[in-house]
Structure 1
Amino acid sequence: MRPTLTAALLSLSAILIAPAALLRAEAPEDAAVATAADVVGTWDGHVDVFGQQLRMIFKITRRDTGDLAAKISIPAQMVSDTALDSVSLDAGNLVFEWKLVGAVWDLSLNTDASAAEGLLKQNGMEFPAKLSKLPAGEEVDTSVNRPQTPKPPFPYETSEVKFQSRADDARLVGTICIPEGDGPHPAVVFITGSGAQDRDETIGPNRVFLDIARGLAAKGIAVLR
């Protein structure tokens, strides 16, 4: 089961799958056959979504196995360096896939592999997309400003706890935040609703349970997650 999308990803998905006539973009006529080494680096560009340009940044690297890997950043959607499921290069076609939002970028490279043009395809819709490769060594700041992330010192203590179930011999592990001061403190336990989640409920760039736990602990409420 797919994890629940964050507000940022929901916003992206809602924009891309809104009902409208299909848009099409023609690939460059001077498409070329490129190698993996040609596409490694940072690509900056945009997708044309109903007349609005949504900026997207791709960082392509090579694994030790020689396979390509890629991360995407979408500043307007608070998405930063999120790993894509796959990136492939075949006869001058550069293809990215992001299964979480059902998106595939199908792009054709120009003759010197300095630019790519094609379509973002999502749930039956198609949107023109263009990318340009940045010069070697040039980077783009893809960090996301997260003012909700607190800085130490914290008004609570954090520690790991373990529970052993005698009924089925299972071990449960979690993290507890205990407020400063003498207890007892009111307490809550966080349990994910559905799908596979870690104790921070990490979804894309967000850590929902962690952010809420910090906020509650700062207000005097102990939290186990």
Structure 2
Amino acid sequence: MTSISALAVAALLATNTNPQFEGHWGGELDLGPAQLRIEIILEETDGSWSGELVSVDQGNARVPATRVTVENDRVIVDLSAAGARYEAELLPGGTLDGEFHQAGQVFELDMSALAADTDPEPAATSDDRDQEFSVSNGDVTLAGALRLPEGDGPFPAVVIISGSGPQDRDMTVGEHRVFATLAAHLADAGFAILRLDDRGVGGSDAVIPHHPQVIADDMGAALDALRSHPSTQGQCVGYVGHSEGGSLAFLAASRSQPDFILSLAGMHASMAETLIEQGEALVRASGGGDADVAAQRAVQDVVMTAMRDSPVGEAGPAIEAGLVEAGLPQQIAQQQAMIWGQAYAQNALDLDPASAMQAYEGPVSAIFGGSDLQVLADNMSARVSAARTDQPTRLRTLAGHNHLLQQESSGLPAGYTSAQHAISPVALEAIEEELGALINLACQ
């Protein structure tokens, strides 16, 4: 549930030009037991190149390029925040023949140009009604955008909490801007919406969180700031959390006392439980059988045991050694150790969301995607219901919707970037309805 990236701010440097490199590229990084989908976005402006890597299967984590070098038919994308570099040659057929370098290892990574965006919602993601907004939590400052409805207010309001891995304020997935689309719809419906760049992304400070409670405290500070803003004047203010953000909303509630919580495809099990359920669902949806599921579970057990048995922040060597002993190639073991040996992952592994859900007394609504393979709707709905037996709780599942609440029936992560909408019109209407119901329960 962590990302391929460390955190950094991009530095853009001028180099040679070759307009054929400009655009959105995609490919798969072969890690042996799994393939990691990678996208790279390259842009050229007045001879200066900028770039960004998107790790689609790791929460769409984004790593800004620190330097993009274009020399004739070759490109080098330096990603110092992740300790990585991508080097590629542009072939006559318009594909990139490349290598991904990280942690002393080299992985083949060929990329093809991705199709142009077909999302028919450019007006919904327009920024002309956004106000820049900053939130301070101790020594850390988060940058974001506040979208307000037309009129004078005061307005009911929400803080959007993103899921696993560092996300920008828009939750950009390929060419889709999920949170920007959501904010635009909800502002038109009369809600004030605050969305933020996570730590180390966009304009926010690059201070790596070591525990989910750190992010929850950031969101508590955000809700306090929004509640005191002139546009709300203490009106009904709550959280909308997506994926892990659904769980973080409950962790934040003890500090900030939100009037309500709306969870979207929320992760309401421990990370360990979620990864096991998610892993089996993805393997089976990709055509795997019982043996494939068992093989993946064995690898997961090795990684999780090492995480539990190692001091926080020091699990990497144990993970690597365990995976090598289990038969994985050294370079794959190293890659997995980098991902899962982080302090945040260790602290999050067995954190149980049930107690936080039980402790929160305000009204809650949870919307799940019926085709979601990352957060299984039936399993998570049952956990929410069990934790909140005597508290006001609404549960809703949207048939044929994936983890991003797009209408995409396969549920596979490959559908996130190719779906027609950033978030489906059906889901937008459902979210609006649930927010209205929550506000009526909490504040009327």
Cα pair 2:38 2:56 within 8 Å, conserved = yes
Q: Structure 1: where are the runs of 5+ without partners?
A: 1-6, 15-33, 142-158, 161-173, 176-189
Distance 1:52 1:140, change over 3 A: farther
Which is richer in strand? Answer: 1
Confirm or deny that 1:78 pairs with 2:72.
no
Cα pair 2:17 2:47 within 8 Å, conserved = no
- Deviations 1:194-218, CA, capped at 9 Å, x for gaps: xxx4246623489935324344775
Give the 5 Å matches for 1:159-174.
Answer: none
Identity %: 19
Deviates further, 38-47 or 77-86: 77-86
Give the 5 Å matches for 1:55-74.
Answer: 55-63=37-45, 65-74=46-55
Q: Which amino acid aligns with 2:99?
A: L
1:163 — aligned with what?
none
Normalising by structure 2, report the TM-score: 0.28
Distance 1:115 1:140, change over 3 A: farther
Confirm or deny that 1:139 pairs with 2:117.
yes
How many angstroms apart in 1 are the aligned matches of 2:5 and 2:199?
Answer: 18
Cα pair 1:36 1:68 within 8 Å, conserved = no
Which is richer in helix? Answer: 2
How many angstroms apart in 1 are the aligned matches of 2:254 and 2:25?
Answer: 43
- Deviations 1:93-114, CA, capped at 9 Å, x for gaps: 11111111100011111024x1
How many angstroms apart in 1 are the aligned matches of 2:27 and 2:118?
Answer: 11
Q: Which amino acid aligns with 1:76?
A: D
In structure 2, the residue corresponding to 1:46 is in which secondary structure? Answer: strand
1:47 — aligned with what?
29
Select 2:199's aligned residue among 193, 198, 202.
Answer: 202
Distance 1:47 1:140, change over 3 A: farther
Deviation, 1:55, is 0.6
Give RMSD over aligned pairs.
3.6
Give the 5 Å matches for 1:112-127.
Answer: 112=93, 114-127=94-107
Distance 1:78 1:37, change over 3 A: same
Q: Which amino acid aligns with 2:69?
A: S
Deviation, 1:62, is 1.4
1:168 — aligned with what?
none
1:106 — aligned with what?
87
In structure 1, the residue corresponding to 2:20 is in which secondary structure? Answer: helix
Q: Which amino acid aligns with 2:73?
A: G
Q: Which amino acid aligns with 1:54?
A: L
How many angstroms apart in 2 are the aligned matches of 1:92 and 1:130?
Answer: 15
Higher relative contact order (CA 8 A, sep 6+): 1
How many angstroms apart in 2 are the aligned matches of 1:74 and 1:103?
Answer: 13
How many angstroms apart in 1 are the aligned matches of 2:96 and 2:33?
Answer: 19
Aligned residues: 144
Q: Which amino acid aligns with 1:139?
A: D
- Deviations 1:59-85, CA, capped at 9 Å, x for gaps: 11112x321111221121113554221
Cα pair 2:96 2:111 within 8 Å, conserved = yes
